């Protein structure tokens, strides 16, 4: 599904790590962890094709249209953009051709799944951080992408939101989708995600989450 060969990324002339060779098979569920500024989000953007690598290459075995969905950090979203929560979530239908009634039913189901019913007409500015994050995740629910790249999907979520998040991530994984998640919560990674890529300036380490993350390590990556 994802193949990285001698991949290097970062600012021009400033690679963040030694070259990375990595293969993630179809249907795998992986986390990316590391300290602030280590290059986690940058790597995810390179995988998504939103940022060019400094060297090496990335091959994705997904359809060019609709095969990949990327969840950015919400700080990159313009909350003054004049759309409602409902319209934001409906963006997950992009590229699909479905009857209007079918779309409406799927949209309402996604809103209900993420406990957003009743907030449909609210502007983005009127949403709390947690409500906006659940809306972004609901939009992701409406895609049919086989590869999901999520950058800190747990950000701003309360206990209910966290529970919904992990339920959906496991459900998407059970459907055979490939998931790559940037996450700071090491305890959650160790509990929920089978394999992890740890990014360090000295190099990247990939392996089972329960081996890379010590059981007593319940704090978050700095």
What rounded mean pLDDT belongs to the chain? 92
Phi-psi region of 104 (alpha: psi -120 to 50; beta: other; left: phi over 0): alpha
Confidence at residue 217, expressed as pLDDT on a 0 to 100 scale: 52
Residue 121, judged by CB atoms within 10 A of its CB (0-12, 13-18, 19+), counts as exposed
The count of C-alpha atoms lying within 13 angstroms of the C-alpha of 133, restricted to the half-sphere facing its C-beta, is: 19
Question: Which three-class secondary structure state does DSSP give residue 206?
Answer: strand
Q: Is the pLDDT of residue 120 over 60?
A: yes
Question: Which three-class secondary structure state does DSSP give residue 75?
Answer: helix
Residue pLDDT, tens place only, 24-53: 999 999 999 999 999 999 999 999 999 999
Task: Quote the percentage of the chain above a pLDDT of 90.
Answer: 85
Q: Compute the average pLDDT of residues 132-148.
A: 95
Confidence at residue 219, expressed as pLDDT on a 0 to 100 scale: 43
| pLDDT band per the 50, 70, 90 thresholds, residue 216 | low
Confidence at residue 57, expressed as pLDDT on a 0 to 100 scale: 94
Q: Compute the average pLDDT of residues 100-129.
A: 96
Residue pLDDT, tens place only, 151-160: 999 999 999 9
Q: Return the ∠ at Cα 187 (arms to 143 and 142), rounded to 5°.
A: 10
Q: Is the pLDDT of residue 123 over 90?
A: yes
Residue 200, judged by CB atoms within 10 A of its CB (0-12, 13-18, 19+), counts as middle
Q: Which two tokens stand for residue 1?
A: 């599904």
Which segments of the chain belong to CATH 3.40.50.300?
1-62+148-153+178-222
**Residue 70: closest CA among 132, 150, 171, 156:** 150
Per CATH, the number for 1-62+148-153+178-222 is: 3.40.50.300
d(CA 90, CA 94): 8
- The contacts found for 37-41 with CB under 8 angstroms, 24 or more apart, are 38/199, 38/200, 38/201, 39/9, 39/10, 39/199, 40/151, 40/182, 40/199, 41/73, 41/151, 41/152, 41/182
């Amino acid at each position: 599904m994802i193949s990285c060969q001698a991949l290097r990324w970062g600012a021009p002339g400033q690679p963040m790590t030694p070259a990375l060779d990595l293969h993630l098979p179809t249907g795998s569920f992986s986390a990316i962890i590391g300290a602030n500024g280590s290059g986690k989000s940058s790597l995810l953007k390179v995988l998504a094709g939103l940022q060019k690598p400094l060297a090496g290459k990335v091959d994705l075995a997904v359809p060019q249209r609709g095969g990949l969905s990327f969840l950015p950090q919400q700080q990159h979203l313009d909350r003054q953009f004049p759309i409602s929560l409902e319209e934001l979530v409906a963006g997950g239908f992009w590229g699909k051709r479905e009857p209007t009634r079918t779309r409406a039913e799927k949209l309402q189901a996604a809103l209900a799944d993420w406990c957003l019913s009743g907030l449909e007409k609210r502007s983005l500015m009127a949403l709390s951080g947690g409500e906006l994050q659940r809306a972004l995740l609901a939009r992701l629910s409406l895609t049919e992408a086989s590869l999901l790249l999520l950058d800190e999907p747990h950000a701003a979520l309360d206990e209910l939101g966290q529970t919904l998040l992990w339920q959906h991530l496991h459900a998407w994984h059970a459907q055979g989708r490939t998931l790559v998640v940037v996450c700071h919560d090491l305890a959650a990674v160790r509990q929920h995600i089978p394999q992890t890529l740890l990014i360090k300036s000295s190099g990247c380490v990939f392996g089972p989450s329960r081996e890379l993350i010590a059981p007593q390590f319940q704090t978050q990556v700095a």
